[in-house]
A and B are shown apart, each in its own frame.
Chain A
């Protein structure tokens, strides 16, 4: 049963520290999406990639957030420096042109103190 995996599942850090979240998309999927979920804002799209190329990162604060896909099996989302308002659950999802659905990972729950 293929699944999207995310690490770490939980992260507690202090303000100003760098945070790196990782996502392994389902093998064979060519699109990857990063979402952030908070009680106030709900699910927000931060960035998405197709065939490893960034297509849209307009939802991401550019000064502190960066998203990359070093290879087809790994997507990363970095926050540097982190702030308390970044506390949220970050979800990665992958999909493909043939399935036309997105499959979500379990999320990384980030707490910035």
Chain B
């Protein structure tokens, strides 16, 4: 049960910011929001995760709404290598070892 809703596909111009939305209206208080991506023929790659505060790392930023019912992954300057399927996942909190349930994700195409 993926518990998230994402648009099936999006396009983004190279060099522009890519903003990928995710709805998780049934998220529980102890559930984190995770983002992974899968480049064609490779294993999924961890991007970022957060509980309620916005997070930023070298790959992306994660913006979580105050009510935590939705979030946005931001790739600040998309490159062609960012073309991939992006998965938004919610799961119980840190250090539980619980599994990830991947939904269908958003297929992002970065256009030259």
Cross-chain contact of B104 among A42, A50, A93, A106 (Cβ < 8 A): A42
Main secondary structure of the interface of A (DSSP, over half): strand
Residues of B contacting A56 with CB < 8 Å? Answer: 99
Main secondary structure of the interface of B (DSSP, over half): loop
Chain B interfacial residues counted at CB < 8 A:
20
Contact indicator B97/A31 (Cβ below 8 Å):
yes
A25 within 8 A of B: no
Q: What's the count of A-B pairs with C-beta under 8 Å?
A: 50
Closest chain B residue, CB of each to CB of A105: B43
Contact indicator A42/B103 (Cβ below 8 Å):
yes
Contact indicator A91/B43 (Cβ below 8 Å):
yes
Q: Which of B1-60 touch A at CB < 8 Å?
A: 34, 41-46, 49
Contact indicator A48/B99 (Cβ below 8 Å):
yes
Q: Which of A1-54 touch B at CB < 8 Å?
A: 4, 30-31, 33, 35, 42-43, 45, 48, 50
B95 within 8 A of A: yes
Residues of B contacting A55 with CB < 8 Å? Answer: 97
> Please, how many angstroms separate the alpha-carbon atoms of A20 and B46 in the complex?
27
Beyond A4-B43, A48-B97, A48-B99, 20 additional contacts (C-beta under 8 Å) are A30-B97, A33-B100, A35-B102, A42-B102, A42-B105, A43-B44, A43-B102, A50-B97, A56-B99, A91-B44, A93-B44, A95-B97, A97-B95, A97-B97, A100-B49, A100-B95, A101-B49, A104-B43, A104-B44, A106-B43
Which 6 A/B pairs are nearest by Cβ-Cβ distance? A104-B43, A43-B102, A100-B94, A97-B95, A101-B46, A31-B97
